[in-house]
Amino acid sequence: MRERFTTEMKAAMKAGDKRKLGTVRLIQAALKDKDIEARGLGKGPISEEEILGLLQKMIKQRQESITMYEQGGRPELAQQEREEADVIASFLPQQMDEAETKAAIEAAITEAGAASMKDMGKVVGLLRGKYAGRMDFGRASGLVKELLPKG
């Protein structure tokens, strides 16, 4: 995945795509920060799953900014954030649809032996481990609440 960032950055430079170039540089800077943070904790470079989590976090930040800019009457800044979010999303694997997400949650509930809302953390932890980058965990946690046995 790291090589892909470098390849995409070179392609954006050649194409003169300033938005994509800037966004890929932002991704690489965030990745470097995470690697330094991990090294400080005595670990190596962050894993592919952690990179996917980082990308999802960056998209979420852009979505929050879009909302704020639209409320503040700054459509040009909202559009810039939208374009950055699209570039970041292009590095994520195909997102799971509603049916796939529900099936994965039901399987995780069974695997965790979840009996009530107290077990929600276990279920979400399993999902994060298996589906990082492919599942919208904001939506998924709502579905987990719906599907967990009430008790």
Rounded to an integer, what distance in angstroms lies between the CA atom of residue 62 and that of residue 49? 20
Residues 52 and 126 in one domain: no
pLDDT by residue for the chain (151 residues), tens digit each? 899 999 999 999 999 999 999 999 999 999 999 999 999 888 888 988 889 889 989 999 999 999 999 999 999 999 999 999 999 999 988 888 888 888 988 888 888 888 888 888 888 888 888 887 788 777 888 888 888 877 5
CATH of residue 41: 1.10.1510.10
pTM of the model: 0.71
Residues 67 and 106 in one domain: no
- Residue located via tokens 């503040």: 72
Residues 14 and 74 in one domain: yes
**What crossing angle do the helices spanning 98-112 and 137-147 adopt, rounded to 10°?**
60
User: Are the C-beta atoms of 123 and 144 separated by less than 8 Å?
Assistant: yes
